[in-house]
Structure 1
Amino acid sequence: MANEEVVILKPPGEEKPPEELVSLDELSGANDDEGQKPEIKDEIKEPKFSKKKLIIIAGVAIFVIILIVILLLLLTKKEPKHADTADLAQQIKRSYPTKNFNASNIDEMISKANELYERGDKFEALKIYENIATQSQSLSSYNLGVSQMKQGRCDEAINSFAKAIHNKENTSVSAINAAVCSLILKNDKNFNYYIDLANSFLQNEADAPLYSYYFALINYYKGNYIEALHALNHPSSEYYRDKYDYLAGKILASLGRIDEAIARLERQREFDANFTLSQLYAIKADYAKSRDYLQKAAKNTTNPDLIKMTASIIDLKTGYFSDAAGFLGEIFRLDASLPSKFYKIKAVLNPEIFDLNLAQMHFSNDMFFNKIRRYETLFYFAPYKVFNAKQTMEQIRKGGMSVFLDDTSTANEYLKNSQNISSVNYELSNAIAKALNYRLKEANADFARLVKSYPEHSILHYNLALTYAQLGNFSLAAKHFGTSYHLDPTNYLAGAFHAISTDITNTLNPKFIAQMSENLENDPNIKTPNLYNSLLDLISENSSSLVRFLEEPKEQSMLNLAFDAIIAKTISQDELMQKKTAKLVEILPDDIVANILNFIALNDENNVKKYALAVQKYFKNRKLNEESFYHGASIIKKQYIKLLQISGLLFYERDKIIAKLKNAPANTNLLSTLAYIQIFTNEFRQSFEIYNRLIDEFKVDDAGTLFLASVAATGANEPNNAIALLELTRLSDPSAIENRIALGFLYHQINNINAAITQYVQVGNTSYKSEFYDFMIEN
């Protein structure tokens, strides 16, 4: 009940606290017995009158008395005294039924009772006084209960409401409030008793203006939301609209009808609904409005800790992880149990990745507008560097792969003096051949071994970094791109890719950008615009510079064509984008990524069914290189599976891989592809088992595999296993934001708040949105 505004009920018509009641003794004081009259001590001298004057006065007095007697007899005969007072008493009872008494009613009742008393009908007057006394006592108990309820003294409030119920006044309303107090105290037995009591006495309120409201309240607390909502939509009075709207808003929220709930709560003014509205807008993911209402709620709150925890949750949802950690830390230091009492979170897989409509939208936009996917596309089409292109090509037995090679022998004079240049180039060529033949993990291992043997070679570090980038380990990619650039400051592509990798890991150093920009400006061999400056402009989103690079005549390398396609898409030059992607497909007809880019350029359909048909039509007769899907760069697996998901062919592909594994049960690339597909088919337990086998039996423990294993473990509701796997990823990919966000959510889930705070602080405030992980509120 921490986030629930308590509705303090009042009897019909009582919008202000009851006025102080006038005692019966004071009102009847004028009729005290004569023996109680004050004694007069001052002596008063009698005036002296003449005998004649006395006779005249006596005669007038007798005449007046006779006249009064005659008038009284006439009046008595016309309207008997008993009928008059009895009728008045009944009229009073009808006009002021006991259940509708409040302070102002009682004042009027006392006045009417006094009138009866003064007219001589003391019996009827005393009956009214008795009713007033009873009602006065009931109102005292009821309002005391309301006051105690407002102060949070629920035990005492229940006792006061019980006294009011005992006096048989305001029974239903008092019972409702007693039930609410019992609910706050988590006393289910008392709650059920009082809510049933309120329901049984509800018929006594049939004529009350708030009858529909009481009926709705009882059904609301009994869980009969539809019945309660029906009553609120058909009020028994046009008054009290705010009460009806407020409770209707609460019920609609409980039913998940968020937009309707917001409309009803925003329409009413009587109750402070700012906090509830903040929560409802957060559910809608309208975090700007949620923050606005939370700020309003903070100005008039009795629970600032709840406000802080709510702010923390909103910050986690919007990428302000450092700010969230600050609020969370304050509450945790105050009371370690409070964070989960307010909001018990559960780490879950992002529901967006399973939504076909969102999958389609992301598929169309991610490769161009999602920062990481855009960078992954550039890494995919980037060239490997060699010492001697001719010798390398002789060793690469795959036609067309020369487009992925960059001969840098002239830029590395220091290698000419090396006695090992021939052997290095041979091993380098073999590793590149594996990378271009989609044996990327093998190539990565070869480059890592070569770097250990020749740690001063810029080209080796560059190629190792490129394999890490294509495998999705951007921490190690940044490390080796940076080393490559420092070993050879003319290797500007290594420098630009280092900046891009650190931008992904949120560790970008502006000084590095400034230094590299200065080096480019001072290099007489580099003209403007150029690829390297433009890659830096992509990081800073300098659109005007990117447009200049797009318009510049340049070599039609794979990297240039892909970069041009990205720029053309971001500035809505669709026709130019189609030309660039068509050229990519012309050069690489069986390449999955090139064909995906071209398909996106040619199709802009919003309807998911029509889009699925377009996917099937485009790819139906194309012979794509399946080996790249099973063994190649991570971007191929990610985007091709999205393509299969949209087109409805995901289960077909899963079954095809299962069939292949019958002939090659130890093929780790097939196993990892199957495990990845099973995440998207919601077969989390099977996926987790395969990843465990890959890690334990085949020793596949790269950061990407460990992370995806944690995803499968989370889907299988194994948070502790997911945490263990993510902790292992930090050994080889310490700067991965996605991994840290996941760890933060999972530690938060198991109430290891200190560990969660550590992860959130490390992530910092960022625009990065986790692809796989999200969280939900359980309480």
Structure 2
Amino acid sequence: LSKQYFQSAIKKNIQPAKAQLALGLISIKAGQVADGAKEIDNVTDMFAEEVYKPYPIKVQLKDSLFDVTKAQQQYRKVISLSQSVKYQKIFYFSPYKVFNANKTISYIRKGNANIYIDNVSSAKEYLVKGGSSSNVNIGIVKAIKKALAFKTREANLILQDLVKIQPKHSILHYNLALTYAQLGNMPKANQHFKRSYNLDAKNYLSGIYAVMTAQLADKDYTKLLQILKDSISHEEFSEKINFYQTLLFITQDNIISTVDWLDKDYKDTPLYLALDIIISIEQNNYKLAKESSNKLVILLPNEIVPHVMYMDAHFSNLKPKIYASEVMNYLKAQKFTFNDLYYGPYITRYLYIQQNLMTGRLYYLREQLKNTLESTTSDTHNLTGALALASFYDRQYEEAYTLYNNLIDNLKIRDPHTLFLGAISSIAAGHNANAIALLELAKRKDSNNLESRYGLGLLYLEEKNNKGAVIQLSRINKSNFHSEYFNFDIDLDKLMIEKQKTKN
């Protein structure tokens, strides 16, 4: 109705600047961001000065990020079922690859001492006689040991160096991509998964993960997806092909077709069990989700992510207060080593902080992280990131802002995700100029990230830079886009000041 009212006002030339600006802001709020940007662009061209007077805006972060009750609702209905969390859980349990003594590819998986041998016909193509190949393979083993010990960033750095020595090594690119994915750097993960698949078209897992990371990084993946579907459909059916097909169904949100996976009786590996839980919950088959999560926490009793998946399976249908109580009591009973929280994949930190937010225990987690940080002299990057994230969700905005600045400026962690988290902490702490600078950097490193563009666009609107805002917002062509982080309202204080000025 409000849209129709303002459209009518524009046609009748009743306060056209005010009406068209309002129409643009309403469209942005409604998720039609590019349409709203177009309206704002037009009205700014016609009324270059007057356009900034009627509706000054104030950029805010959403209450659902911080409020315990709203955060629980958001986690249970949105976050735990989101594509991002689902994929990051899959990456968490995914195997690393290495050549074994028989010159075949071995999969080194979490939760198993055994190495699963996978004879790949194209493996010989990678084997280059000479020292460099042997050194690279030794280096890969060293990196994998780091990764499995939750030294994810150290593993990533080793693999970055190795890929410079042997840039046409498909397995190397796969392992590097997997560390990037676990660190939350999806553009880089996508780059190396694609490279791995291009170097070996039989490396289907790299191809499928390239699709997943492309989806998370808002990159085009349609052609790659079609190639994978065609190639895999021509393969003889096997356990592995069934696994690949199931992952492809997940990338296409084809929940009905994933049901076949649950009927198969494969060995209970952590990755397969995680997949069982993800699929079962999506199909509301909580009985099977509970059974699989019971097995998963037996296999990996000291790691946080399996226990979060256990809680998702067992507690999801409880009432809010009972849910919070069950989560708190369950977490207290666990004997975590916390190495995964301090040094491992980003998803561990994110999910564990969410659990502590919902149970009102972020203060205690922050104290734990501070004490650990004080006694740690090396590899403090992820630990600092964990404390920064916990401080942000605990509304300790200035502390989060300072920690992210330290992470970015001193520890040189400048991936798009960290820059984005630094930016939202800056907004929360009232340092909008810093937020703009960080979002500009994040956008340059990942031009497809819609959240970065949206936040930057809103900040430019607040700063009365409509042209700068339009450049960002017009690129958000996704229909019905609603930010997980950003909100805006009319700044009534500024409006009152403007009215006082006109009276005087």
TM-score, normalised to structure 1's length?
A: 0.58
**C-alpha displacement at 1:404, in angstroms?**
9.2
Unaligned runs of 5+ in 1: 1-273, 279-290
Question: Does 2:103 align with 1:374?
Answer: no
Structure 1 range deviating more: 639-648 or 746-755: 746-755
**C-alpha displacement at 1:562, in angstroms?**
1.5
Match of 2:385 among 647, 658, 672: 672
> Hey, what does 1:707 align to over in structure 2?
420
> Hey, what does 2:185 align to over in structure 1?
473
Structure 1 range deviating more: 749-758 or 730-739: 730-739
Question: Does 2:352 align with 1:637?
Answer: no
CA distance in 2, matches of 1:546, 1:573: 12
CA distance in 2, matches of 1:655, 1:610: 26
Alignment of 1:15-54 (within 5 A): none
Match of 2:139 among 411, 421, 427: 427
Percent identity for Structure 1 against Structure 2: 32
The SS at the match of 1:763 is: coil
Aligned pair in 2 of structure 1 residues 554, 300: CA closer, same or farther (>3 Å)?
farther
> Hey, what does 2:111 align to over in structure 1?
400
> Hey, what does 2:447 align to over in structure 1?
734
CA contact (8 A) 2:156 2:179 kept: yes
Match of 1:616 among 320, 328, 349: 328
CA contact (8 A) 2:105 2:120 kept: no
Aligned pair in 2 of structure 1 residues 342, 482: CA closer, same or farther (>3 Å)?
farther
**C-alpha displacement at 1:311, in angstroms?**
3.3
CA distance in 1, matches of 2:7, 2:268: 54
Match of 2:124 among 413, 432, 448: 413
Alignment of 1:754-769 (within 5 A): 754-766=467-479, 769=482
Residue 754 of structure 1 aligns with an amino acid whose one-letter code is K
**C-alpha displacement at 1:294, in angstroms?**
5.9
Aligned pair in 2 of structure 1 residues 763, 557: CA closer, same or farther (>3 Å)?
farther
Aligned pair in 2 of structure 1 residues 337, 628: CA closer, same or farther (>3 Å)?
farther
**C-alpha displacement at 1:718, in angstroms?**
0.9
The SS at the match of 1:523 is: coil
**C-alpha displacement at 1:609, in angstroms?**
2.7
Match of 1:687 among 400, 419, 422: 400
Match of 2:297 among 564, 585, 588: 585
> Hey, what does 2:167 align to over in structure 1?
455
Question: Does 2:461 align with 1:748?
Answer: yes
Alignment of 1:639-658 (within 5 A): 639-658=351-370
CA contact (8 A) 2:104 2:117 kept: no
**C-alpha displacement at 1:403, in angstroms?**
7.5
CA contact (8 A) 1:383 1:403 kept: no
Cα offsets for 1:728-771 (capped at 9, x unmatched): 22343333222222222222221222222222233322455433
> Hey, what does 1:489 align to over in structure 2?
201
CA contact (8 A) 1:366 1:374 kept: no
The SS at the match of 1:774 is: strand
**C-alpha displacement at 1:298, in angstroms?**
6.7
CA distance in 1, matches of 2:159, 2:309: 29
Cα offsets for 1:42-94 (capped at 9, x unmatched): xxxxxxxxxxxxxxxxxxxxxxxxxxxxxxxxxxxxxxxxxxxxxxxxxxxxx
CA distance in 1, matches of 2:452, 2:328: 34
CA contact (8 A) 2:103 2:123 kept: no
Aligned pair in 2 of structure 1 residues 611, 634: CA closer, same or farther (>3 Å)?
same
Aligned pair in 2 of structure 1 residues 304, 437: CA closer, same or farther (>3 Å)?
same
CA distance in 2, matches of 1:506, 1:544: 25
CA contact (8 A) 1:392 1:429 kept: no
CA distance in 2, matches of 1:373, 1:404: 27
Question: Does 2:426 align with 1:718?
Answer: no
**C-alpha displacement at 1:593, in angstroms?**
0.7
> Hey, what does 1:571 align to over in structure 2?
283
CA contact (8 A) 1:381 1:404 kept: no
CA contact (8 A) 1:471 1:704 kept: no
Aligned pair in 2 of structure 1 residues 402, 609: CA closer, same or farther (>3 Å)?
same
CA distance in 2, matches of 1:472, 1:416: 31
Which structure's relative contact order is higher, taking Cα pairs within 8 Å and 6+ residues apart? 2
> Hey, what does 2:497 align to over in structure 1?
none
CA contact (8 A) 1:384 1:406 kept: no
CA contact (8 A) 2:17 2:47 kept: no
Cα offsets for 1:150-197 (capped at 9, x unmatched): xxxxxxxxxxxxxxxxxxxxxxxxxxxxxxxxxxxxxxxxxxxxxxxx
CA distance in 2, matches of 1:528, 1:384: 15
Unaligned runs of 5+ in 2: 493-504
> Hey, what does 1:696 align to over in structure 2?
409
CA distance in 2, matches of 1:734, 1:344: 27
CA contact (8 A) 2:344 2:382 kept: no
CA distance in 1, matches of 2:197, 2:210: 8
CA distance in 1, matches of 2:203, 2:139: 21
Match of 1:311 among 23, 35, 60: 23
The SS at the match of 1:433 is: helix
Aligned pair in 2 of structure 1 residues 713, 586: CA closer, same or farther (>3 Å)?
same
Aligned pair in 2 of structure 1 residues 303, 673: CA closer, same or farther (>3 Å)?
same
Cα offsets for 1:381-438 (capped at 9, x unmatched): 22112222899999x9x99355797756655221234334322211001111111111
Residue 695 of structure 1 aligns with an amino acid whose one-letter code is I
Aligned pair in 2 of structure 1 residues 736, 472: CA closer, same or farther (>3 Å)?
farther
**C-alpha displacement at 1:629, in angstroms?**
0.8
> Hey, what does 1:349 align to over in structure 2?
61
Residue 411 of structure 2 aligns with an amino acid whose one-letter code is F
CA distance in 1, matches of 2:135, 2:377: 36
Residue 492 of structure 1 aligns with an amino acid whose one-letter code is Y
Residue 327 of structure 1 aligns with an amino acid whose one-letter code is E
Residue 396 of structure 2 aligns with an amino acid whose one-letter code is E
CA contact (8 A) 2:61 2:428 kept: yes
CA distance in 2, matches of 1:724, 1:341: 25
> Hey, what does 2:495 align to over in structure 1?
none
CA distance in 2, matches of 1:654, 1:406: 42
Match of 1:540 among 242, 249, 252: 252
Aligned pair in 2 of structure 1 residues 665, 609: CA closer, same or farther (>3 Å)?
farther
CA contact (8 A) 2:110 2:148 kept: no
CA distance in 1, matches of 2:423, 2:237: 48
Match of 2:243 among 518, 531, 534: 531
CA contact (8 A) 2:296 2:306 kept: yes
CA distance in 1, matches of 2:178, 2:480: 25
Between Structure 1 and Structure 2, how many residues are aligned? 489
> Hey, what does 2:496 align to over in structure 1?
none
**C-alpha displacement at 1:495, in angstroms?**
0.9
CA distance in 2, matches of 1:648, 1:352: 14
Residue 673 of structure 1 aligns with an amino acid whose one-letter code is A
Alignment of 1:50-69 (within 5 A): none
Structure 1 range deviating more: 625-634 or 342-351: 342-351
Question: Does 2:311 align with 1:603?
Answer: no
The SS at the match of 2:487 is: strand
Aligned pair in 2 of structure 1 residues 371, 337: CA closer, same or farther (>3 Å)?
farther
CA distance in 1, matches of 2:271, 2:440: 35
**C-alpha displacement at 1:528, in angstroms?**
10
